[in-house]
Amino acid sequence: MAQTEFTQFDDRELAHLCAAIDYLFGKGGVLARNVVSKGLGEPSFPYDANNPYIRVSGVRKPGK
């Protein structure tokens, strides 16, 4: 199954997905600004397979 997934992997689709995320949530995001930022490719926290959720800081309420 993994071999099939990697042989059918499309780099352009991944690039479009990343561009869309940056457009919506990046520095000048249309939907929400500064939710995500470019990184160095290394996670800033250890990955736990038993708890795959990523904790993010709270979102400020408008006007505060």
Show Cβ contacts of residue 45 under 8 Å, excluding neighbours closer than 6 positions: 54
**Residue 52 domain-assigned (yes or no):** yes
Which pLDDT does position 49 carry in this prediction? 75
**pLDDT higher at 23 or 6:** 23
Q: Burial level of 16, CB count in 10 A (0-12/13-18/19+)?
A: exposed
**Residue 64 domain-assigned (yes or no):** no
**Residue 7 domain-assigned (yes or no):** yes
**Residue 13 domain-assigned (yes or no):** yes
**Residue 1 domain-assigned (yes or no):** yes
Q: Which domain holds residue 6?
A: 1-58
pLDDT in tens, 19-63: 888 888 888 888 888 887 777 666 666 777 787 776 767 777 777
> How many structural domains compose the chain?
1
- pTM flag (> 0.75): no
Q: Computed from CA positions of residues 7, 12, 17, 21, in that sequence, does the dihedral angle turn out positive or negative?
A: positive
**Residue 27 domain-assigned (yes or no):** yes
- Is the confidence at residue 64, as pLDDT, over 70? no
